[in-house]
């Protein structure tokens, strides 16, 4: 991809109070997509509405203005997988902070916050912080089109030497 800016590592940490889609529980997994890229998936966590995936998915970013779509599904053996909600988030503020070229901040420094609004799926304030020598963004996304559920994740940027950069 000659037009690539870099890579976005999305650490899908866990789901909280996800919807029940089987008899008493669900077998959830997450699908992440940006633009026309191939979908990335986490593993299925069996019989759990509070799954801990703790998985890192990596997207190549060409256009930072495109939203990233996250969908949660319940894995079914004999039928189509059931939808358990979706969310979208944007990385514009995260990219702006990365372009500041910050260096050497004390670990845990909060650089900026993104407020929840009707235009985003944030369940609470999202902090962009300096952590272990890098800029990261922590998010809790409230799932839409479902009765309940949130997904917690963290964003981290990976520079690629052959890319056009930020």
Structure confidence at residue 2 as a pLDDT band (50, 70, 90): low
For residue range 48-59, what is the model confidence (pLDDT) as tens digits?
999 999 999 999
Q: What is the pTM of this model?
A: 0.94
As a whole number of angstroms, the distance between CA 5 and CA 35 comes to 14
Phi-psi region at 149: left, alpha or beta (left = phi > 0; alpha = psi -120 to 50): left
116, pLDDT greater than 80: yes
């Amino acid at each position: 991809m000659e037009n690539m800016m870099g890579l976005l590592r999305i650490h899908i940490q866990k789901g909280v109070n996800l919807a029940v889609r089987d008899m008493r529980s669900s077998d959830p997994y997450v699908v992440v997509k940006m633009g026309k890229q191939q979908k990335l998936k986490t593993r299925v966590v069996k019989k759990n509405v509070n799954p801990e995936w703790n998985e890192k998915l990596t997207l190549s970013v060409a256009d930072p203005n495109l939203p990233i779509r996250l969908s949660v599904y319940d894995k079914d053996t004999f039928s189509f997988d059931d939808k358990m909600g979706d969310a979208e988030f944007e990385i514009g503020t995260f990219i702006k902070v990365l372009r500041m070229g910050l260096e050497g901040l004390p670990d845990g420094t909060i650089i900026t916050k993104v407020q929840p609004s009707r235009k985003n799926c944030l369940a609470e304030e999202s902090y962009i912080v300096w952590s272990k020598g890098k800029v990261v963004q922590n998010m809790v996304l409230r799932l839409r089109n479902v009765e309940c559920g949130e997904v917690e994740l963290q964003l981290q940027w990976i520079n690629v030497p052959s890319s056009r950069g930020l």
